[in-house]
Structure 1
Amino acid sequence: MKYFLGLDNGGTTTKAAVYDKTGREICVASTATKMVVPAPGFVERDMEEMWEANCTVIRKALEKSGISSADIAGVGICGHGKGLYLWGKEGRPVRNGIISTDNRAWKYPVRWKEDGTEEKTFRLACQNIMACQPVAILAWLREHEPKCMDQIEWIFEAKDYVRFRLTGEAGAEYGDSSGANLINLHKKDYDMELLKLFGLEQYRDALPPLCEAGKICGYVTAEAAEKSGLLKGTPVIGGIFDIQACMLAADALTEEKLCMIAGTWSVALYLSKKPVMEKKLLQYIRNTVFILPEYYLIEVGTPASAGCNEWFIRELLPEAVQKAEEEGKSIYEVMNSWVEEIPVEELCPVFMPYLFGSNVHPLAESCFVGITSFHTRKHLVRSVYEGIAFSHRLDLEHLLESRADRPEVIRLTGGVAKSRVWTQMFADVMNIPIETVDVDETGALGCAIAVAAAVGAYDSMEEAAAAMGRIAGRVEPILEHVELYNKKYDLYRKTTRALDSVWDAYRSQEDAGL
């Protein structure tokens, strides 16, 4: 029997999972992502450590599964979009990789919006400019770290870098690149005019050849085989932008289906035969090339989701984690029970889930508003759950402006989908039924689906997704809760708007060294 290996390079963990042809997860291995935070708003990763982590989880997955490496039919890699991973002319990384939650380059999208650059890029790339995109980060590096720019051989994003280390073949997958303001979406190719708008034309030769996500784009080298335990010559596909991998795992491959991802990022997305071109919508919506060539992926995303919950656990609940472990429980079980103890109608502090960026203001940061002596940590946990759900709702509202119809159901993936109480909250806040995916690692499964199609185990990507994807169940909104959450969401929006001037003043003080 042949098996399919999926690698997922996320913002907080690196995972490898093995699947059979039915989509059954044979095993999974993971390791925590070691993030480097050298300054506020800066989020980096050591690229050599990243490569070692991928090799470690591959080897562990093979060992746990008991499967011979000769039975791995192919490898697929997904990773966070945006960010920047630079490979140098001397055969090693130029510097640390920069993760998609990095906000150091926030000034460049603001500047490009004011001077008309963004408007000019709209007609070519069909998306807005984000601080975490390669174009903004490269502009920042050119100004602040000019010496490193002379060393660049290849400009990668996360999963393209890992594929390069596995195969020795440099490539840039269409989905990631089209979501990075690097591709003319109409031509589906690099465009010198677009690069000139960002002042990056001199780096054209450092952009790797474009490759398709679902096609074999290289084979595991002898060196990578020795480090990872894979067999030399194992096929490796182009790989997938992680949100596209989730679409595959959720079998959301028709235009009427809408998918929501609640992980490090909040993402809402659907497929369309045409890109969204209305100028007023492009400030929120991004069009990218999808793994199925007849479709574009229509997406709204913000780095304001369950990653904030992980920070809350790590920094504010260490003794609760320890106690839960001593009692043989998960901290997530404990938090879910705390949230259930606080009635929906009880007013909790408003949580702004903007640790890594926001969808309300380029400088917005995270905070709790409205804490009183009555509130406990249990209230704050509910606040975190609610604030993240409200951020997702705002993204959803932006996305639905581009559709004529409201979806009948949302397919939900990511960490939130593993929590029954949080999934119910999402259904109530969105006022749309939620279906969850019955798989732990949606990104890795999406990769495995793409590999299965690429090596001929199925005749098409759609057939592979239908056979290997698994839907767990459906959660309906509770009508009395819908109205309560509508009122809370209104308060959340009023709070975010009221803080606009505060964020400007806060950053000016920070820039002044206070």
Structure 2
Amino acid sequence: MFVGLDMGTSVVKAAAFAEDGSALRVESTPISLGGRGECVEQDVEEVVEAATDVLAAVTGGRAPALVAVTGQGDGLWLVDAEGRPVRPALSWMDGRAGALVAERMADGTAKRLYRRTGNVLFPGSPGPLLAWLDRNEPESLDAAATAACCKDIIHLRLTGERGTDLSDASVPFLDPRTRTYSPDALAALGLVHRAELLPPIAETLPYGQARGDVPGLPDGTPVTSGPYDLPASAIGAGVTEPGDGLLIVGTTLACQVVVERVAFEADPVGFHLATARPDRHMRALPAMTGTVALDWVLGVVGGSHDQVTGMLEESPRGARGVAALPYLSPSGERAPFVDPAARGEFTGLDLRASRADLVRAMCESIAFAARHCLEAAGLTGELAVCGGGARSLAWLRLFADVLGRPLRVARGPEPGARGAVLAAFAARGRDLGGTLDVAAWTAPDAVVDPDPVSVAFYEQAYADYLSRVESSRARRRALTR
């Protein structure tokens, strides 16, 4: 039995897999988000307890051959030498470093950092959060021994081993040329004197053995950490070859494509996440829009998720002329362009527009946004899909039509946890005593093919969408001058 532990932002999940990749059991428990206003924090001890609870539940008293940890990336989790928190964890959703990031963008620091690392700054990433604490709360950094991401703190508490993997190290301090922390990146954020807080980067993955005080986990159980949830989900979906991509239809759209090199010269947007292979990077463009935009319009029209299929069938493609822009986040958009002023819109409305037309227009616009991101990331090969939005076959068909390509529905359940187990065997197979059949573990649950007539329709509709995006952004830039 191989267990993947996925430390999500609001839910912790554990999935137990048999050697052939079939799921034996899945357990989950919610965790809370705290803070106020732009400050979003998590209780480290609550999260650790949730991790041990789902591990004990999913193993059911059996000894697993492996526990592989993945989870939310970014944020900042400060702990002492024993892995105990010195303050609540700062979530990747935290916005208190927003003004600091704006300063670094205005003075050109953010662009210089992109040329060094291939990754943008955003308020919830470790660099800006460290810099904010160094400026406003230095006593917390003085008390800490490690500043890491969620999964690495869980690994530390389970095994006593301190470390991180290349994917979490990527943003924002990793120099992908040397695959070590960049002194220039640390200096650019004024954090050279805090470099000792960064955990060592494992050549493959952090690896240790469970200590005897972990409930439900026998002493000596092998435990690995990483990659974090975006690249782990790609591995779990079988996305490993250049040009292939993964679309995660979740609260936000996480669009990723495997690339062979970091595009240092490109416009500063998105991330290049390092992998175990120096010639493989995950080009990640995580948009702020996603199912959150669909949730909003359902709330406006008084609809529910179980009505989406019927609404998509009721309204024809093109939504009877109603069109939308899905940029509903108060912080604007971050992929495939960075624009804090980006805002959502509905156009083409008249008294004949129905509730279904509004829902279909938003679903189409989210699919257009996914295509925009995937094209910017360099998608040329096969595309896999997963996430909560992928449960709607009607919406998946719409995505396939807009993207003009088949969608491989990632094998369930829990592709992130599945990918963490596969990454562990790729990195530490000799220590773990064997190999796994990767093709069997990643065989898609289904393939959704596009409809040729709809593909032709959406080619023009997508061109119209791009024009509306540019027109809207230009209007807002003019208003702010």
Q: TM-score band (shorter)?
A: 0.7 to 0.9
Label 1:150 to 1:33 Cα distance change in 2 as closer, same or farther (>3 A): same
**Paired letter, 2:223:** V
Q: Which moved more, 1:75-84 or 1:350-359?
A: 350-359
1:478 corresponds to: 451
1:244 corresponds to: 231
Label 1:209 to 1:310 Cα distance change in 2 as closer, same or farther (>3 A): farther
Label 1:114 to 1:7 Cα distance change in 2 as closer, same or farther (>3 A): same
**Paired letter, 2:340:** L
Once residues 342 and 78 of structure 2 are traced to their aligned partners in structure 1, the CA distance between those partners, rounded to angstroms, is: 28
Q: Percent identity?
A: 26
How many pairs were matched up?
A: 474
> Cα RMSD (Å) of the superposition?
3.0
Once residues 476 and 8 of structure 2 are traced to their aligned partners in structure 1, the CA distance between those partners, rounded to angstroms, is: 28
1:69 and 2:62 correspond: yes
- Which of the residues 40, 45, 56 maps onto 1:43? 40
- Which of the residues 373, 376, 386 maps onto 1:395? 373
Matches within 5 A, 1:453-492: 453=426, 454-456=428-430, 464-492=437-465
1:378 and 2:365 correspond: no
**2:407–2:449: 8 Å Cα contact kept in structure 1?**
yes
2:219 corresponds to: 232
Structure 2 unaligned residues grouped into runs of 5+: none
- Which of the residues 442, 446, 449 maps onto 2:422? 449
1:276 corresponds to: 263
Label 1:74 to 1:135 Cα distance change in 2 as closer, same or farther (>3 A): same
**Paired letter, 1:303:** M
Q: How many angstroms does 1:506 deviate by?
A: 10
1:222 corresponds to: 212
Once residues 322 and 7 of structure 2 are traced to their aligned partners in structure 1, the CA distance between those partners, rounded to angstroms, is: 35
1:121 and 2:113 correspond: yes
Q: How many angstroms does 1:503 deviate by?
A: 6.6
Structure 1 unaligned residues grouped into runs of 5+: 321-330, 401-405, 509-514
Q: Secondary structure at the match of 1:93?
A: coil
2:25 corresponds to: 27
Q: Secondary structure at the match of 1:210?
A: coil
Q: How many angstroms does 1:32 deviate by?
A: 2.8
**1:89–1:151: 8 Å Cα contact kept in structure 2?**
no
- After superposition, the C-alpha distances for 1:373-396 in whole angstroms (9 at most, x for unaligned) are 554543443344223222212211
Once residues 452 and 209 of structure 2 are traced to their aligned partners in structure 1, the CA distance between those partners, rounded to angstroms, is: 53
- Which of the residues 7, 32, 35 maps onto 2:5? 7
Q: How many angstroms does 1:285 deviate by?
A: 4.5
**Paired letter, 2:153:** Y
1:191 and 2:182 correspond: yes
Once residues 395 and 196 of structure 1 are traced to their aligned partners in structure 2, the CA distance between those partners, rounded to angstroms, is: 31
Q: How many angstroms does 1:290 deviate by?
A: 0.7
Label 1:10 to 1:386 Cα distance change in 2 as closer, same or farther (>3 A): farther
| TM-score, length-scaled by structure 1 | 0.82
Q: Secondary structure at the match of 1:132?
A: coil
Label 1:380 to 1:47 Cα distance change in 2 as closer, same or farther (>3 A): farther
Once residues 58 and 343 of structure 2 are traced to their aligned partners in structure 1, the CA distance between those partners, rounded to angstroms, is: 37
**Paired letter, 1:289:** A
1:101 and 2:93 correspond: yes
2:134 corresponds to: 142
Q: Secondary structure at the match of 1:172?
A: coil
Once residues 228 and 52 of structure 2 are traced to their aligned partners in structure 1, the CA distance between those partners, rounded to angstroms, is: 20
**2:3–2:67: 8 Å Cα contact kept in structure 1?**
yes
Once residues 124 and 254 of structure 1 are traced to their aligned partners in structure 2, the CA distance between those partners, rounded to angstroms, is: 25
**1:29–1:60: 8 Å Cα contact kept in structure 2?**
yes
Q: Secondary structure at the match of 2:306?
A: helix
1:209 corresponds to: 200
**Paired letter, 2:222:** P
